[in-house]
Chain A
């Protein structure tokens, strides 16, 4: 089992460009999450999907959109990237309980 995988690992964007961060899990988990981690800020929830076909906003959703493509895949889209979105992005999943399993992260820089 690969667990939670994320692509790409690194990305540099210019202000105004768009991109999609991909996440997939092979653990048959129902729920999936997107977080961002900034220095000194811990992990903050952007969006989550409690089950296939549903998505909900987290603490910091502005500037992002998500798609739960199927049970395995949950993507995060930046329509018009801004320097404030420079961060490390983590995808996570779980069966709907408490313990979440995290991917390795995508390091995004917006210049």
Chain B
């Protein structure tokens, strides 16, 4: 079974509008962390936001917020007031503490295109 599922291969959004990128995950580990990374065409993976499994509140970082629904095992990224520079691939990733491994497991990504 996929550990991280991103069901939207591609998304379009108008500049200045908000957009939600979906991410669902599968784990039986009670302690885990969820990350979102942005990958522009340059290739570099840029950290956006983090949510811990025990965090009571949804994470926010500037225009990025994470809609964390633990019971549904979803961690959707919300980008408010989209900008042209937000056009990129977006990856959801997870680290489970019980595995003893620090490696991140990534989803397949969502390509976001912001239209003027």
Query: Is B truly associated with A?
Result: no
